[in-house]
Chains A and B, each alone.
Chain A
Amino acid sequence: MKRGHDIRPSAWYALPLILFFGCFAVLPLGLVGYLSFTDYDPLLSPVFNGTDNWQRLLDDEEAWDALRRTIFVAVGSWLLQTPLALLIGVWAAGQQRNRALLSALFFLPLLLSTAAVALLWNRFVDFNFGVTPSLPLVGDVNFLGDQELVLYTVVWVIAWQYVPFHTLLYQGAARAIPKVLYEAATMDGASRVQQFFRVTLPQLRYTMVTSTIMILVGSLTTFDTVLILTNGGPGTASRIAPLHMYITGFRGFEAGYASTIAVLLVVLGALLSFAVVRLTGYRSMSSQQEGL
């Protein structure tokens, strides 16, 4: 009897995963990579055109503007979502009165589809028919029609949709923090605030990394919310890179060039998550609970 064989599952067990991943991730990625070097109108066959698309990308200011907007959305989403999700998550992990009811309410947006969320906010802030024009303070603000403001609106709506999800991550992680740490901290005379910064926050470090990667990489692929909320407008003021890719590919039918933008986004997404993992020491996975 080969002992190792009994303990470790056969490599065949990975087959479904490999097949699935290969068919729905690697294969399409390879095809997109190929198409990025072609002139491809879905009506005709792809024609290899060398690096034409890539040169066009270098000169395409709209693409770079779209990328800048994407980075704005990514950074803005992180800055807005992380503190909100962290605070609500830690709160929801506690044992307060009404916690269950309020948590359920907080998680409500998680149950709505992206399209529903985008439509809801689109109607809510509509400058002619929405609710905000009749509210004090924000009555004169055209949230979707002001070129300077529209990206902030986008960041807000994305946050509204995804904060509950990240809250869930933090809530789970906060519950897993051993109670003895807080007991010890209390013995040492740490206040609630000090406990949060000295115990909770360090213990949530890896959760924060996970959540950060999800927010940053997610921003590189978000487009349905923006498509429905603003359609990239006014003008192109909220046309983020994935939307630019979609419009190029499915309205202008330049699928080759759209693939080039897609490849750029894939590379950026990979680099970004790699960088976050590296900078935060996530890979070493060193224990945060030594001595327990």
Chain B
Amino acid sequence: MRGMVRNRRLSRVVAGLTGIGLAAALAACGGDSGASDGTVRLWALEDGIVNEVQQASIDRFNEGDRDAEVELQTYGNDPYKERLRTALGSGNPPDIFFNWGGGNLKEYVDAGEVRDLSGLFEDNPDFRDSFIPSVLEVATLDGTAYGVPMRGTQPVVLYYNKAVFEDAGVEPPQTWDDLLSLVETFSGEGITPIALAGTQAWTELMWIEYILDRLAGPEVFQAIRDGDASAWGDPAMVEALTMLRELIDAGGFGDAFQSVDYDAGGASAILARGDAAMHLMGTWEYTNQLSESPEFVEGGDLGWVPFPTIEGGSGDPSNVVGNPANMYSISADSGNAEVGEDYLLEQMASEEYVDELIEIGDVPVVVGIEDKLAETANAEHATWVYDLVLNAQSFQLSWDQDLPSDQATRMLEQLTAVFLGDQTPEGVRRGDVRSVAGRHPIG
């Protein structure tokens, strides 16, 4: 009997403790304690080698006598987007946050969550002028600046395997017709003409971005971005999609692109092995190849050219698409905005930071670094990319970053459907994908 009583009492204690534990857990999950005043929280993407450069610049800054110290926190790509959006929306934002500029940033600006940095640039004209103007534009919305470039530029260019081209006795394409005839040549030899990581829709997006730009310039897409969804039915858009469809039908991407992956290195390896002749990709591909297939790059077999021109197209052939640069912005609710601005002002165009970016293979968007780039181990690629961007008439940000997220996801659905033959060029605007997918007008 005594034993039972004791047991019951014990159970009650255990139950009580469990309850307290739960309550504590609930209280704990209730919310972040938020930034203390002494910390400037800087959020960025997780990227080993880049994070080291970021941390070094933060350490240099924190050495000075400040009101607050900068602290770097990093996240993976998709979790970062989710987390940032929720943090900005819930009033507990980081002080400085990484972003891609464009429509992606515009959503945050429209929600009143981003600090106006125009004053920073106006008060420090030297700082402003140290960046390539077309790149600053990416984070400038309606004449107001919201971001400072923090990484190298990453235009999309056409990479090719020189050895494969030499074996076939052909030259890299300069025009769309060149490209189509190359597709025929390589197909005939059993080589996939163009590697495409078709499991990831953004790799397919690069093709339509360039074709439309070469055909009709950046205006058609900009109309869509500015809210005119009917521009998806613009004759130039339909023509661009039709040309893309022709390229697919001609076997340009082989017949197994739907299962090729980029993140795991599939498309890059296909190019390096010589199973494919070309690969349209952002310039991070170079760094990628260098680490995954060093003998391919160091042997001089990796070549690169701008996207081919299209006869009769009205777009400027110097135009590029891709990521002009990644940006740092400051949140409107930041309690340490001044210290944050000081950090950006002091470090983002500083010699040390720029040098370190160059060292890891980046091409910073700072003016006057030709000589520095020419001295690096990857000088040939770096100076070529730098000149390409410097001379570009327009640098269109990737569409999926330039559109609001909900439109971007639907656009990517439509585009994959076009690649799979489930959607017609005319149907993209209506969004009525046949058979497999559903109906989503993009606008």
Contact = CB atoms under 8 A, between A and B. Distances in A.
A19 B22 contact: yes
B409 A127 contact: no
Contact of A43 (B89, B269, B275, B419): B89
B438 interface: yes
Interface centre among B23, B275, B437 (most CB of A within 10 A): B437
A233 B200 CA distance: 9
A252 interface: yes
Contact of B259 (A63, A65, A142, A250): A142
A179 B108 CA distance: 69
B417 interface: yes
B15 A15 contact: yes
A65 B438 contact: yes
Interface string B191-209: 0000000111000000000
Contact of A129 (B19, B269, B420): B269
Interface string B376-405: 000000000000000000000000000001
A52 interface: no
A265 B422 CA distance: 27
Contacts of B49: none
Nearest to A239: B437
A64 interface: yes
Contacts, number: 133
A254 B406 contact: yes
Interface string A60-79: 11111110000000000000
A253 B417 CA distance: 21
Q: How would you classify the secondary structure of chain B's contact residues: helix, strand, loop or mixed?
A: helix
A273 interface: no
B269 A142 contact: no
A180 B341 CA distance: 82
B22 A253 contact: no
Given A126-B266, A128-B256, A128-B270, A43 B108 contact: yes
B436 A61 contact: no
Interface residues of B, number: 51
Interface stretch (B55-63, B80-88, B354-362): B80-88
A126 B265 CA distance: 12
A149 to B, nearest CB: 11
Contacts of B437: 61-62, 65, 235-236
A20 B409 CA distance: 36
A233 B257 CA distance: 12
B413 A144 contact: no
Interface residues of A, number: 47
Contacts of A230: 199
A46 to B, nearest CB: 10
A236 B258 contact: no
A266 interface: no
Contacts of A250: 78, 81-82
A145 B257 CA distance: 8
A145 B258 contact: yes
Given A127-B259, A234-B198, A253 B406 contact: yes
Contacts of A97: none
A23 B26 contact: yes
A9 B437 CA distance: 55
B234 interface: no
A61 B256 contact: no
B3 to A, nearest CB: 13
A251 interface: yes
Interface string B248-292: 000000001111110010100110000100000000000000000
Interface in A130-166: 142-147
Contacts of B88: 43
B259 A61 contact: no
B111 A44 contact: yes
Given A62-B439, A127-B256, A234-B198, A252 B15 contact: no
A144 B264 CA distance: 15
B314 interface: no
Contact of A252 (B26, B78, B406): B406
A16 B15 contact: yes
A214 B19 CA distance: 29
Contacts of B420: 147, 234-235
Interface in A54-107: 59-66
Contacts of B439: 59-62
Contact of A234 (B4, B78, B199, B410): B199
Contacts of B175: none
B73 interface: no
A251 to B, nearest CB: 5
Interface in B402-435: 405-406, 408-410, 413, 416-417, 419-420, 422
Given A19-B19, A235-B417, A252-B410, A62 B89 contact: no
A13 to B, nearest CB: 6
A221 interface: no
Contacts of A13: 11, 15
B18 interface: yes
Given A62-B438, A63-B438, A128-B266, A251 B409 contact: yes
Contacts of A62: 413, 437-440
A145 B259 contact: yes
Contacts of B416: 233-236
B438 A60 contact: yes
Interface in A23-72: 23, 41-45, 59-66
Nearest to B18: A16
B178 interface: no
Q: Which 7 A-B pairs have the closest CB atoms?
A: A62-B438, A145-B259, A61-B438, A234-B258, A145-B258, A252-B406, A252-B409
Interface of B: 4, 11-12, 15, 18-19, 22-23, 26, 78, 81-82, 85-86, 88-90, 107-108, 111, 113, 198-200, 256-261, 264, 266, 269-270, 275, 405-406, 408-410, 413, 416-417, 419-420, 422, 436-440
15 contacts: A41-B107, A43-B108, A126-B259, A127-B256, A128-B259, A128-B266, A142-B256, A234-B259, A235-B420, A235-B436, A236-B438, A247-B409, A250-B81, A252-B408, A252-B410
Given A43-B85, A234-B416, A250-B78, 13 more contacts: A13-B15, A16-B15, A23-B22, A41-B107, A42-B90, A61-B438, A65-B437, A127-B260, A128-B260, A144-B199, A146-B258, A235-B420, A250-B81
Interface of A: 6, 9, 12-13, 15-16, 19-20, 23, 41-45, 59-66, 123, 126-129, 142-147, 230-231, 233-237, 247-248, 250-254
